[in-house]
Amino acid sequence: VSSYDRNNAHAIARKNSYDPSTIRYGGTMPDEEVLKFVNALKEQGKKVAFYPFLMVDNENKDWRGYITGSAEQVEMFYTNQYQPFVMHYAFLLRGKVDMFYIGSELEGLTVIKGEERNFPFVNNLCGLAANVRSIVGEKVQISYAANWSEYLHCKGGYRPLDTLWSDQNIN
């Protein structure tokens, strides 16, 4: 994927590190395979939605919704890891998909409050939607796939995703 290959990518954890059949969780398809799959669907006249899924590779395979931290850590995670991850696929799939999700079920991040009672990761998702829109164009629908629990409020009665749902780049 992107500039990563078997020599420089993080190896997915295995129950037995010497046995490739013991991978505990799947991995990411190479870019070429993603494009082949999308092109095959388009050739069949299908509409295509791209849904990036953030894998958590740890021993217990904790669900990705539990990724959390401080507001400062959220900014570092977004800038150094999450934004490049999503933008890579926006460039890769420009002109090829009908819908592009900028993420899914990241409630451990979307509920973190910053100093000004804002939600830094939600604000970042709004910026990400604008960046993705500038690449994929106006005809592509853009959204975020929230977990059912993200539609509720977090502590203090705040509804963090309201800002995202009302953003002009979210369909």
Give residue-wise pLDDT tens across range 15-65: 666 666 666 556 678 899 999 999 999 999 999 999 988 777 666 655 666
What gap in Å lies between CA 108 and CA 133, rounded to an integer?
Answer: 25
User: What integer pLDDT is reported at residue 23 of this predicted model?
Assistant: 60
Give the largest CA-CA distance in the chain: 50
What gap in Å lies between CA 55 and CA 65, rounded to an integer?
Answer: 10
Mean pLDDT to the nearest integer, 4-17? 69
What residue type is assigned to position 136 of the chain?
A: V
pLDDT in tens, 78-116: 999 999 999 999 999 999 999 999 999 898 899 898 888
User: What integer pLDDT is reported at residue 148 of this predicted model?
Assistant: 79
